[in-house]
Amino acid sequence: MESIRKIIIASISKNGIIGNQNKMVWKIPEEIEHFKRTTIDNYILMGRKTFESIGKVLPNRTSLVLSKTKAENSKNLYYFDEIFKVFSFLKENSIPKIYIIGGEAVFLQTIDFADELILSFVKGIYSGDKVFPMNKLDDFELISSEEKTQFVINKFVRKQQISRNKK
């Protein structure tokens, strides 16, 4: 699991909201384009509810879906019932990195071993029923920030990773 880079990518409101009733609360074309550019030609991991809210396999990406219910694998779509099986699959197939795209339950399961975070902080306060585990940001160090009109892209790396790289 060490050699696979685990990168959480999320769009979050100022107050930590990431969704409401299995839908994005905002639609910002520039932020969607950033997500697409970042994840294209890569493997993405999401929960069943997130996959169902998207409604399809995203083009030019391989989707890995965590689901307790049986589902049929197909082209560029693989289902797993446990997180460790996802990482075994990635390792067996020599996949160097995975983008973890949500939702709330998947972020909670993976943030403790994520290597990087790419968080788009939307300029606004929204109401919703799904939140990002903001209390875990203390485990990461901000390495870059890119200001956009409606959001800010912040990139973080795990703090222990920085000290390891300096040696």
Q: Any idea what the CATH number is for the domain that residue 123 is in?
A: 3.40.430.10
Ordered alpha helix ranges (H), 43-96: 48-54, 83-92
Categorize the per-residue pLDDT at 70 as very low, low, confident or very high, splitting at 50, 70 and 90: confident
pLDDT for 165 beyond 80 = no
165 found inside a domain = no
21 found inside a domain = no
Other CB atoms within 10 Å distance of the CB of residue 145: 11
* Backbone φ and ψ of 81, nearest 5°: -95, -10
Domain count, the chain: 1
164 found inside a domain = no
Mean pLDDT estimate for the chain: 93
143 found inside a domain = yes
pLDDT for 1 beyond 50 = no
> How do 130-131 and 151-158 pair as beta strands?
unpaired
Domain that holds residue 128: 5-15+28-97+106-153
22 found inside a domain = no
Q: Note if the pTM is more than 0.85.
A: yes
pLDDT at site 167 = 45
23 found inside a domain = no
pLDDT at site 160 = 76
pLDDT in tens, 123-149: 999 999 999 999 999 999 999 999 999
Instruction: In whole angstroms, give the CA distance from residue 135 to residue 140.
Output: 11
Instruction: In whole angstroms, give the CA distance from residue 74 to residue 100.
Output: 20
